[in-house]
Chain A
Amino acid sequence: DGGITQSPKYLFRKEGQNVTLSCEQNLNHDAMYWYRQDPGQGLRLIYYSQIVNDFQKGDIAEGYSVSREKKESFPLTVTSAQKNPTAFYLCASSQDRGGSQPQHFGDGTRLSIL
């Protein structure tokens, strides 16, 4: 089955630690996105990539980094500079780079601070 796989499902971060969230898709989609969702809030865009080896900052990129070395993969690193990382992180992909096609989501990673 085609889809988006995020791992791990739950992640705990210690003070000063960088952690990396995995996102893999086998839908052959060009565009991939990372969102953060806080309790009772909407989705906020962290980073997006419209093509391999290229990515752009979203609305809340500070304290995060990404890479897009392969079409299928778009990992997100939550760095120690992100002082409030506790949230639900969602990865998405879409066939269209410009947003005219719907996004498909992975089932998310919940990150908490130890």
Chain B
Amino acid sequence: RKEVEQDPGPFNVPEGATVAFNCTYSNSASQSFFWYRQDCRKEPKLLMSVYSSGNEDGRFTAQLNRASQYISLLIRDSKLSDSATYLCVVTAGYSSASKIIFGSGTRLSIRP
């Protein structure tokens, strides 16, 4: 089992739809969680950190479920510009960067 797993997609949804995807992690000691977006042939950019109580930033909502060991990203009222690959990042422990694990990403395509 991979340490961090994401559904690769692609998710193809119409503009204005709500879409959600999950990221599961295997290490129960994981401490920090992030969502990044990566446009085609570009670098990943931080979308949002994921806090234990869940957090929202505009149309984006991130949730953490420690019991089931997954994080989720919900996008409401999707825009064409939301088309990208979404990467989850999970960090276990505090002392070693080798515990920072990137998921392989979920591709999202918004159609007009």
Which single member of B34, B49, B89, B93 contacts A98 (CB below 8 Å)? B93
Q: What's the Cα separation between A33 and B44 when bound, in Å?
A: 14
- What is the CB-to-nearest-CB distance from A50 to chain B, in angstroms, rounded to a whole number? 7
Q: Which residue of A lies closest to B90 (CB)?
A: A99
CB distance B104 to A31 under 8 Å? no
**Given known contacts A33-B97, A100-B32, A102-B34, A42 and B102 CB-to-CB distance under 8 angstroms:** yes
Give the A-B pair count, Cβ closer than 8 A.
66
A10 smallest CB distance to B (angstroms): 11
The answer to whether B109 has its CB under 8 Å from any CB of chain A is: no
Q: Which residues of B19-49 are within 8 A (CB) of A?
A: 31-32, 34, 41-46, 49
Task: Name the B residues within 8 Å of A41 (CB-CB).
Answer: 104
The reply to whether B43 and A106 form a contact with Cβ atoms under 8 Å apart is yes
Binding site for B on A (CB under 8 A): 31, 33, 35, 41-43, 45, 48, 50, 56, 58-59, 88, 90, 97-108
